[in-house]
Amino acid sequence: MDSLESMNIFDSHCHLDDKGYEGDLDGVVARARQAGVIAMMAVGIDLPTSQRAVALAERYAGIHASVGLHPHDARNGSSALMEDLKALAAHPKVRAWGETGLDFNRMHSPRKDQELWFEQQLILGEALGLPMIFHERDSEGRFLELLAAHWTPARQGVVHCFSGTEAELERYLAMGLHIGITGILTIQSRGRELRRLVRRIPADRLLVETDAPYLTPTPERNKFRRNEPAFVRTVLLKLAEVRQETPETLALTVWRNTCRLYGVAEH
């Protein structure tokens, strides 16, 4: 890897099953590969999206899948659903459990449901030996409280789309978690605090992601109606700039981090 053109990039979190990609998915994948994004994690947030993520992973080389129940959808949680997700997780293309966690900002599901099914998924993820993909927003410490009760040093996971405080970041790092950085990093006002904090993250804990079709980075957000994995390259280049590292060196580090976390061969 000796030039920007030869960088290998892993979009560690995207929602390729989204309806916004219907009729254009071949193009989305092709543009990603042209941008050096040769691997992607298609993330499930309920049973149908998890099933579609697995189908996409079967269809395209370089796409991997996760299964899980998002806190927004926790009101629909049940033991039967967990069993269905557990069965789906046996598929060889499933490399993680999640997206799961707590979101007390929008409260699409009651707090008690979010907490119940977050804990159940923590238990399931451990039983299956899968790394976890976490979502946290405005939980005022409750996410960390529940996580600490079920977390051990041997476990692996990522706090996706990190936008928390410095104190939360330090707790995550102390627990051995990876940190997912999105296009928020590129946004002038909204990303100011994140640009300060990413300098504090050890290089071996960094991941980059789009969360596509959401959180389009700048300047693409001024030109395109949706985010897509190709744009994670912009996130990586901005991250290298902020951390004062060469893009090639950072790309290799982040590639290795993501492959190691998800148990994917580097080559």
Q: Write out the binding residues.
A: 13, 15, 99, 135, 160, 211
Question: Which residues have a Cβ under 8 Å from the Cβ of 179 and sit 6 or more positions away?
Answer: 158, 159, 162, 169, 172, 173, 201, 205, 206, 207
Token output for 22: 């219907």
Question: Are 240 and 247 contacting, i.e. CB atoms less than 8 angstroms apart?
Answer: yes
Residue 228: which H helix or E strand, with range?
Answer: none
Residue type (1 letter), 244: Q
Question: Are 36 and 64 contacting, i.e. CB atoms less than 8 angstroms apart?
Answer: no
Give the DSSP letter string of 27-66: HHHHHHHHTTEEEEEEPPSSHHHHHHHHHHHHHSTTEEEE
State the binding site for a divalent metal cation. 13, 15, 99, 135, 160, 211
* Four-point Cα dihedral 211, 175, 173, 8, nearest 10: -50
Could you check whether the bond before residue 213 is cis, i.e. omega within 30 degrees of 0? yes
- Among residues 259, 233, 260, the alpha carbon closest in space to that of 6 is found at 233
Question: Are 148 and 113 contacting, i.e. CB atoms less than 8 angstroms apart?
Answer: no
At 96, is the secondary structure helix, strand, or coil? strand
User: CA 59 to CA 51: how far, in whole Å?
Assistant: 12
Residue type (1 letter), 43: V
